[in-house]
Structure formats: C-alpha cells, structure tokens
Structure 1
Amino acid sequence: MKFLSSPASNILGVLAAGLTLSACVSPTAGSSGYYASPIGNAPVTANPTPYSTALYCLADYARRYNLPSPRMAVGRISDYTGTISSDGGRQITQGASLMANSALAKAGARLVERYDTSVSELELRYANNRLISDDQPNGQPDEAGYRRILAGQVPGSDFYIVGGITEVNYNIRSAGFDAAMGQVKDNGGSGLLTGRVFVMNIAIDLRMVQTTTLEVVDVVSYQKQIIGREISAGVFDFLNGNVFDISAGGSGLEPVQLGVRALVERATVEFMANLYGAPGPEICLSPENDPLGPTAVGATGGYYPTYPNTDTNNGQTRADPSRWHDRRDSAVRRAGQ
C-alpha cells in the first residue's frame, strides 16, 4: 500500500519502516551470541504420503501372521528426466533411493545396505590390516587385540529395487482469467482480478530384481499429476489527492518432490504386498489384523528395537510432533532445571 500526499510524509513513512525492520537485527551480538533470533517455531513432523498407512499396515499384517520378510536392498533410483531448474540445480529430487529405503522400513522389510557402503568398506580394509579393535561385553579389548574378519559375516540380499524417475511433463493443461474494471472519471478507481491453474505430471519406473539370479520378478510404472494455482487481486484509486494502490494474492504448488515420494511408496506397497502374499487392501480393514501392540514401525519408518522398550519408544511415538521438543514436551528438561 502506498500513500502519496507530500514528500515529507513519504520520507517519514520510509524512515518508520526502516526503523521497524532494523529493530529485529542488531550489529552487536547479544548475551545469547546471536545478532538476530531465527523466526519460525514449527516442530519436526513425520512426512507421510497417502500410501504410508498401507505400508505399516503391511508390516502389522506380516507380524501378525509371522511372515518373514526377505532381505531387501535398494540400488540407484536415478532421475532420468534431465530437467534443470532456472538456478542451475536439478528440478527433480535425486533422493528417490533414500525414499525407497524409508518406504521399505515402513513396510517392516529387513534391509541390508547396498546404496552407500563406503564406511563398511573402509573399516573392512582397516580390519584386514589389523588396525581396528572391538571391545568385548566386559569392556576389555578382544584378546587378539583386533577385529576379526569372519567368512560370511555380511548377510546377503534376496531382492533389490532399482529404477528411475522417467517423466516430467510441464503444463499438461492450464487455464486462467483476467478481469478488470474501472470508472470513466479521471480520478476514478480501478480493480484487477487474475487467476491461473496449471497441471503437470511426473512418472516413475521401478523393478524388483532377485539378487542371486538377476531375474526381474516385479515391475511397476506409475505417474502422478501435480496441480498449481495462483490468484491475485488489486485496487488502484485516487482519494483527495492521495494515491491508493492495494494488491493481494496467493499461490500454491503441490509439492513435486512429495509427489515423487508418493510414487515410490505406492510402488513399494505393491512390491511388499506381493512378497508377503497379502490379498489386497482388505487386510487393513479386518479387525483380526489390528496391531498386537506397540510396534517399531510407523509413519517415520521402522527400526529393530535394541531393548524391549517399544511400549514407550515406538513407531507411533516417533511421529508425535511434540515429542523431544524442548518447548512442546514438558519431559525435556536439562538436568537440574
């Protein structure tokens, strides 16, 4: 909004706005060590898609009927679209393999690492040169003084998932409107209203391969449409020698990368339902398939419990946005407070 009545009032308005903004930033660090306090206080939350519930429903189904999960691994799920954003970076996420790992964990799969084995390979090389030692349960080093390398100590995978993001189609369809109105008088006001809607899509092709035979045992290909919209309105008017220029608007784009995650999770649902022998979504509706109790699988993924504490530390509690937050969880206090 702009008010134009005299040069003096304009200067005062600019100075007032500048002083207001400068009050948020100090050239001298305060006692906290900050020049300015960061804005925002949203807690960390889970990042589910509409298919996440089906994934940990499959995990509950497998646990109830004692269905063993084969060992799963994830290879490269690359971006084959070649799309580049205006700032030079990739338009589509390069982390689809990481999303697939999370999806498999939500489904209760037994995971073995094959995507980044650099640390294990380095330690294996160190151990082979007798440079690494391991403490025993009594806290003392191994009698031999170094980590031993045993034949067959690394479990193999039964199946692995690979593939890629294969399509990004912009502006499949778009629509919009512009509407303007005003008065004939010289000092009359005018208004403008605009709106835009557009649709794009992304697609993914994944395959599940049996590790020992390299036979492709399952293939899925999915696409998802993404919608974006923008609405803006403005008013321009003269009033007693002053000029009023007011505009407002809003825009939104369905998250493209979250769409990729949804594609990966839908594909993982189909893969794991096949491996578990689940007949279909009806397994999630049957009362006899309710969870047996607190489980390590939830909206944030899954894990192998190290201690029997799933009654207080489980998949559901991990998805609680207030848990462990120093201002939202009253149990989080520094010792002595």
Structure 2
Amino acid sequence: MKSLIKTLLLGRAKAPAAALASAMVLTGCISPTAGPGGNYTQPIGGSPVTANPTPYSKGLVCMGHYARQSGVPAPRIAVGRILDYTGKADIEGGRRVTQGASLMAISAFAKSGARLVERFDTSVSELELKYANNKLIGEGADTQFRKITAGSIPGSDFYLVGGITELNYNIRSVGGEAFIGATNATDPKGTIGGKLFVINVGLDLRMVETETLEVVDVISYQKQIIGREVSFGIFDFANGNVFDVGVGGRAQEPIQLAIRSVIERATLEMMANLYGAPTADVCTLTEGAISSNSTTGDYRPARAPLEEYNGPVREEPRHGRF
C-alpha cells in the first residue's frame, strides 16, 4: 500500500514538471548561459524592411519628376519644429502622438524634389565650425587645416513650421453584443459582439519666406482614424468537462501613419503652388517620361544618367544585395 501511494505521489509531481517543461519548449529555446554567438536566445521575427508610403507619396514623387522634366527650379526648403500641441499623454505610455513630425515633413519634401537645407539639428555643424575656427580640424598634412569660407552655406528660400493641434477621442462609436443560449444550464451558450469607433488628428502648418518672414501658405488638415473590435465566445458542458472559449480581434488605423499622411498631403499642396503645377494630377504629365514613380522617392545615383533612378530598388522588401 505504501509503495502504491508513493508511486501515485511521484506521478502527480511529475505531471506539473512535464507541463512546465513543455511550456518552456513552446516559448522558445532559452539557455541560462550565453551560446557561441554570445546570446541567450534568438529573437523571433524576421520581417524585411519595407517602404512606408501614404496615399500621397506617389503624388509627391510625380511632383518632383514634373519639376525636373519641366525645368522648374526647386526651391530650397528648411523644416523647423512641428511640435505636439495636443497635450495628450498616457500615464504609462507617454505622448499619444509622434514627436517626430518635423522628420516626416523632411522626408515628404525630399520625395517632392525640393532642395533641403538643414536647420532642424545643426549641433554637429556648429561644433565643426567651432573646431575649424580654432584650427583643430586638419585636412591631411600637419600644416593644413580646414578653412572657413564666407558664403559657403546656402540659405533657404522658405521654411515650414507648425504643429499637431488636434487629437480627438471617440468622435463617434457604435457597438452591439448578443447572448444566445437555451434555458437549460447544461446546453451550450454563446456570445458575439462588435464595435466601431472613430478618432481624428489635425495639423496646422505654414510656409514662410525666409528673407521677408512673409507667410506665403497656410494649411489646416485633419484625418479621421477608424478602429474596430470583434469578439466571439462559447460556453458548454460536454462529457463532464467545462469548455469556455473566446476569440476576438481588434484593429485600429495607426495614429502616427495618419499624421504622416496629413503632412504629406499638406506638402503636396504647398509644393504644387511653389512649382506652379498646371493640374492636380501631375502623374499624368510625367507618365512614360520617367521609368519609375517610387513611393519612397526617386533619387538618381551618382554618375548615372538622368533617366536612371534607384527608387524601385529602395521599395523592394528584400534587396538583391542582402
């Protein structure tokens, strides 16, 4: 009898251990000591780097092609600070909207073919200028140092400033939930539910002429963002066992991508004015003349003909070189 009880206890002790071991295997191979590569484990995933376009990216690239094809000189643009003025923040997650709107605007102007001059972060340039002024930066030989030449830095024709001014939660929401089941406690029962909700973001941007400080263009845009939530569950007794299963899904249009879309739409409209585009659909003007209209921006590699651009290569999820 004692041996039988001991066997049962050992069997019960082994069951949780086996379950724990199985769970650790399912979560991945983790070693308490670093492996030959210096890591405890390999990270999951492996998705390639992809382009990050908006519905207006292609129009921006077409605008740049139109200007080059028509011989319209591209203005020099500087991007200032586009700050978050919504004041919305989570207690744990921090700011709700991106703090990098200025960087999004720089990328948008680059797609449109504008000549960009750096004014957003000049800390490195200022330090280099300070070192050069003190004759600390050499140019090879001991007796040579970098010269400071007057007028070597090009100025901007226009600069962009503004801010993210709106983030409105739950403009409107609608949802429903249903419970289905018989009155008998042992019969199966189920629930199903769904919800839709809408929020929005808004930006106010202005283009300023650098020499006169005259505001030459002002744009205020907003974009609505939709989210949805679906759930389904079932509860049942079967063969003396209880089954409670629930599945669901939740999806929301990315807030930061919506801000990028608003910025690219505003940039498209502003550059259309600066280029003097004759039509809103500039892609039809460059169709056939340019081999590619990449959504990342078509840039001509060094020592390449004008017709050759590396935009398609930049868009490929898996580059041939890697």
Fold match by TM threshold 0.5 = yes
Deviation at 1:283, TM superposition (A): 2.5
Q: Is residue 60–residue 290 contact of structure 1 (8 Å, CA) maintained in 2? A: no
2:209 alignment partner in structure 1: 210
In the alignment, the residues of structure 2 paired with residue 248 and residue 13 of structure 1 have an alpha-carbon distance, to the nearest angstrom, of 28
- Per-residue CA deviations over 1:135-191 (Å, capped at 9, x if unaligned) read 5xxxxx4x8510000110100000000000111110000000010112222212211
1:193 alignment partner in structure 2: 192
In the alignment, the residues of structure 2 paired with residue 236 and residue 248 of structure 1 have an alpha-carbon distance, to the nearest angstrom, of 12
Aligned residue type for 1:263:
V
Deviation at 1:98, TM superposition (A): 0.2
1:110 alignment partner in structure 2: 115
1:317 matched to 2:320? The reply is: no
Deviation at 1:30, TM superposition (A): 2.5
1:335 alignment partner in structure 2: none
What percent of counterpart residues are identical? Answer: 55
SS at match of 2:89: coil
Q: Is residue 179–residue 193 contact of structure 1 (8 Å, CA) maintained in 2? A: yes
Q: Is residue 105–residue 303 contact of structure 1 (8 Å, CA) maintained in 2? A: no
1:72 matched to 2:74? The reply is: no
**Aligned pair in 2 of structure 1 residues 176, 162: CA closer, same or farther (>3 Å)?**
same
- Per-residue CA deviations over 1:4-27 (Å, capped at 9, x if unaligned) read xxx999848843642433552222
Which of 100-109 and 309-318 deviates more? 309-318
Q: Is residue 191–residue 233 contact of structure 2 (8 Å, CA) maintained in 1? A: yes
Q: Is residue 290–residue 307 contact of structure 2 (8 Å, CA) maintained in 1? A: no
Q: Is residue 55–residue 103 contact of structure 1 (8 Å, CA) maintained in 2? A: yes
Q: Is residue 167–residue 200 contact of structure 2 (8 Å, CA) maintained in 1? A: yes
Aligned residue type for 1:314:
N
Q: So what's the TM-score if we normalise by structure 1? A: 0.86
Aligned length: 311
SS at match of 1:161: strand
Q: Is residue 60–residue 289 contact of structure 1 (8 Å, CA) maintained in 2? A: no
Q: So what's the TM-score if we normalise by structure 2? A: 0.89
1:254 alignment partner in structure 2: 253
1:163 alignment partner in structure 2: 162
**Aligned pair in 2 of structure 1 residues 263, 277: CA closer, same or farther (>3 Å)?**
same
1:101 matched to 2:106? The reply is: yes
**Aligned pair in 2 of structure 1 residues 74, 302: CA closer, same or farther (>3 Å)?**
farther
Q: Is residue 198–residue 226 contact of structure 2 (8 Å, CA) maintained in 1? A: yes
Structure 2 residues not aligned, in runs of 5+: 1-11
Aligned residue type for 1:33:
G
RMSD: 2.4
Structure 1 residues not aligned, in runs of 5+: 1-6, 136-140, 324-328, 333-337
Deviation at 1:216, TM superposition (A): 0.1
Aligned residue type for 1:58:
M
1:326 alignment partner in structure 2: none
- Per-residue CA deviations over 1:222-249 (Å, capped at 9, x if unaligned) read 0000000100101111111111111111
In the alignment, the residues of structure 2 paired with residue 257 and residue 247 of structure 1 have an alpha-carbon distance, to the nearest angstrom, of 31
Aligned residue type for 2:249:
G
Which of 10-19 and 80-89 deviates more? 10-19
